[in-house]
Structure 1
């Protein structure tokens, strides 16, 4: 049921199963795994925590952010992925441990989002060192030309190439971190991050030669298409033109957004992020239409699958990621104002 403004509630969107699922998969130490007994990564962990905040599950969200604070390394970074065991000190998962800048920095977005949802200043103060150190790590990897390098190896070696989507995510992280610093009176940090953000934005908008220099171009991925809009690098008419230019490549009518333009596979998380991007440029009706398509891709309990392979007509892969539910909650919030932070991705911080 909608109210007079057209907004819907969490119940009306039938998103309670998504929230319950995130909280059910969350470990006792606060880490939100991708799915039961699965791995985890810091970016998707924060996305899931943001979904909890939207739904008012504030204690579960605080546990998630406490996990980040405890797992963060002395240099402000985190491993790109984590294992599924609660034993030990939260060691990395995978054969090549690395520290990805956008995954480490995204905690700034989550912390500012949770504060916007709750007004809990004590939470902001406790998480301030975590935000400060995470953004410090990312900014130390900024090239003279403005882009922020993708990752640092376990041996400290910097991989000197950059991702458009990763850098766009850091652009948003720097804005949210600056908002945290501004709220707490840390003007030097705020100014330093805003200066880094300005140089990063200029690189994303004007220096395509600085991205994908040592690997195959990622332009086939939908995230490269809409992330500069989602994260505020592009706004207004340039943002609308960018989205319009990619619709024929990535949007599959009635199904959702393809993950990559050359595969018959729509994914719920990318579709939800496209929904928020469209809402940010004033295309709310189109955004709502796409969002409503996505409820086809839930299981019998109302939990979202990763996506749908529409040539084979099967859910693929056969997983229901917590971060997909988190993205669905954030999209509903952007459309329906479920939380006080509903406009986090719709407003431009620090023009």
Structure 2
């Protein structure tokens, strides 16, 4: 890891997340709302730092706020839903969190307590899968599924499904339907860009199919090379969007995790060092830096940015037993085209 960050500083960053946790256990965005995806990411980071009390309080929040259909409201403020739709990637990421917590702590009793939550969440997700294999991004409050899928969201869902399968196997409750869904989704992520809404200006759409585990090997290296110069700002980090002079800490650290996952350790270490200019003296991190105006943008420090830093640090140092969770996400890559996707081939993408 970079000489600029010692492990006690990583713990300090995790503590900055605990400092903003609300009394009911939720971990909000700077503007005040909580969503399940970023909440889980923050729990994972605090678990890496050994902050078990806040972590379990956060999982209690997930148990209490999950709805009967397995989803969570898109946004909650003070424990009350202010946006009622349920996002598929929010629900799927709870499986990543539960698997991560088991890897870190070895606490199988807690994993069993979370298993009904995970099972309900991933069943909600799989119900939103199309015949071709992509998973639409939300189910609206009136029950209607969205008309399109998002590449970044589906790449994260792929990791969620794989994590759920592993957790089920560990708990002697295998879920072959999730495994089939992951196989089909992985194929669409790797071979069918037309299945997703065009969000290519966002750096997440560039690296997330690799980070989530659906794309690895030569295809991953080619994908990284294709947009490297578009998004990476040497010495600063990576852009959130291609058309704005704005680097962001969360995306930079997710790319660190992506590089680590494909064995590109030198560039992972360099990028992690480059983004440290976003660190505040209290261990928190500014969300981003507008490098033309030379101003923090937005002028906030976000828990989800701190969480990405901690997870990247864990991957680079292998400090916990969960440090390889993103590397391992690509271990189960298979090619499973369906009759609906239009492909006639079958073979390894790895």
Do the two structures share a fold, i.e. TM-score over 0.5?
yes
Shift of 1:51: 0.3
Q: Distance in 2 between matches of 1:127 and 1:185?
A: 14
Superposition RMSD on alpha carbons, in Å? Answer: 1.6
Uncovered stretches (5+) of structure 2, i.e. residues with no partner = 334-350
Moved more, 143-152 or 298-307: 298-307
Q: Distance in 1 between matches of 2:6 and 2:158?
A: 30
Shift of 1:58: 1.6
Within the candidate set 279, 286, 289, 1:298 is matched to: 279
Within the candidate set 18, 21, 26, 2:16 is matched to: 21
Match for residue 108 of structure 1? 95
Shift of 1:177: 0.4
SS of equivalent to 2:139: strand
SS of equivalent to 2:117: helix
Match for residue 10 of structure 1? 7
Q: Distance in 2 between matches of 1:282 and 1:209?
A: 29
Q: Distance in 2 between matches of 1:145 and 1:91?
A: 35
Q: Distance in 2 between matches of 1:65 and 1:117?
A: 15
Within the candidate set 81, 88, 91, 1:92 is matched to: 81
Within the candidate set 178, 187, 210, 1:193 is matched to: 178
Uncovered stretches (5+) of structure 1, i.e. residues with no partner = none
SS of equivalent to 2:285: coil
1:260-271 maps to which residues of 2 (within 5 A)? 260-271=241-252
Q: Distance in 1 between matches of 2:209 and 2:117?
A: 25
Q: Across the two proteins, how many residue pairs are aligned to each other?
A: 332
Moved more, 281-290 or 21-30: 21-30
Match for residue 205 of structure 1? 190
Shift of 1:200: 0.5
Q: Distance in 2 between matches of 1:9 and 1:263?
A: 32
What per-residue deviation string (whole Å, max 9, x for no partner) do you get for residues 294-314 of structure 1? 111122323100000001100
Within the candidate set 51, 64, 73, 1:70 is matched to: 64
Does structure 1 conserve the Cα–Cα contact (< 8 Å) formed by 2:16 and 2:282?
A: no
Q: Distance in 1 between matches of 2:82 and 2:233?
A: 34
Q: Does 1:350 align with 2:332?
A: yes
Shift of 1:135: 0.3
Within the candidate set 117, 124, 128, 1:137 is matched to: 124
Does structure 2 conserve the Cα–Cα contact (< 8 Å) formed by 1:9 and 1:338?
A: no
What's the TM-score once normalised by structure 1's chain length?
0.91
Q: Does 1:311 align with 2:305?
A: no
What's the TM-score once normalised by structure 2's chain length?
0.92
Match for residue 45 of structure 2? 51
Match for residue 146 of structure 2? 159
Q: Distance in 2 between matches of 1:62 and 1:236?
A: 36
Shift of 1:39: 1.2
What per-residue deviation string (whole Å, max 9, x for no partner) do you get for residues 50-101 of structure 1? 0001111122111111111111000001111111x2xxxx22224xx31110
Q: Does 1:60 align with 2:47?
A: no
Shift of 1:340: 1.1
Q: Distance in 1 between matches of 2:304 and 2:281?
A: 19
1:119-134 maps to which residues of 2 (within 5 A)? 119-134=106-121
Q: Distance in 2 between matches of 1:206 and 1:257?
A: 25
Does structure 1 conserve the Cα–Cα contact (< 8 Å) formed by 2:43 and 2:97?
A: yes
SS of equivalent to 1:30: coil
SS of equivalent to 1:25: coil
